[in-house]
Homo-oligomer: A and B are copies of this chain.
Amino acid sequence: MNPDNIEIVLVHTTHSGNIGGVARAMKNMGLSRLTLVAPLEYPAPEATWRAASALDVLEAARVVDTLDEAIAHCQFVVGTSARDRRIPWPLQDARGCAERIASQSVRERVAILFGREDRGLLNEELQRCNLHCHIPTHEAYPSLNLAMAVQIVTYELRMMALADKVGLPEDADWDTPFSSSEDMARFYEHLEATLVEIGFLNPEAPRQLMPRLNRLFNRVRLDEMELNILRGILTEAQKAARRHPD
């Protein structure tokens, strides 16, 4: 496991106190890379106060406007989620996720996304993920405080770091680097545009087509060469569609 390759990403946090709590939770467990996507109020005295002796983590936090910016350079993205999804996504509990994250972080940049206090991550944000993480709370009161959720996931990572028993992932010795989240986002745009152009996808009635394709390619993870090949195919399909418009 490489802690420097693991980033905690807070998406649209409402209560600034939670941001401080997260910084402390991270440092307690040996992590330091924090990214804030459009926090409602930041910097804020409440964040500073709750961070206690983790002020260095807070001060080094990256603040960005969009999730795209936050995860552009990451090759493995995990989203924490309480809700059941319409389309099932690769899903593991916090312990299983920690093992995957520890393992991927040896060679790649990993982002772990935590959503809004009231609504969590939106569907379109969850679809950016390779893996969903579930913390098995009790059904009588399933909604965890944001900083608590971060504490549990980072604690599991710390247990992994200490156990030092994490094997490399099965694709650790790949011949080509895996695509970044930014490249994948461009690919999905290209894919969707192409499917519309060739008449396969009706933008007025998209159904669940794009989410399902999203899930497919996020699950398998494309390496850079595979991505280039697919994009070449899309470009050719577009050319064909333009040569023979309906």
Contacts and interface: CB of A to CB of B under 8 A. Distances in A.
Nearest to A29: B138
Nearest to A150: B148
A238 interface: no
A134 to B, nearest CB: 11
Q: Provide the main secondary structure of the chain A interface.
A: helix
Interface stretch (A65-73, A139-147, A192-200): A139-147
A176 interface: no
Interface stretch (A20-28, A99-107, A209-217): A20-28
Interface residues of A, number: 29
A46 to B, nearest CB: 11
Contact of A140 (B27, B52, B135, B138): B27
Given A24-B145, A53-B143, A143-B53, A155 B158 contact: no
Contacts of A145: 21, 24-25, 52
9 contacts: A21-B145, A21-B148, A28-B138, A28-B143, A28-B148, A29-B138, A95-B159, A136-B162, A137-B158
Interface of A: 21, 24-25, 27-30, 52-54, 95, 135-138, 140-145, 147-148, 151-152, 155, 158-159, 162
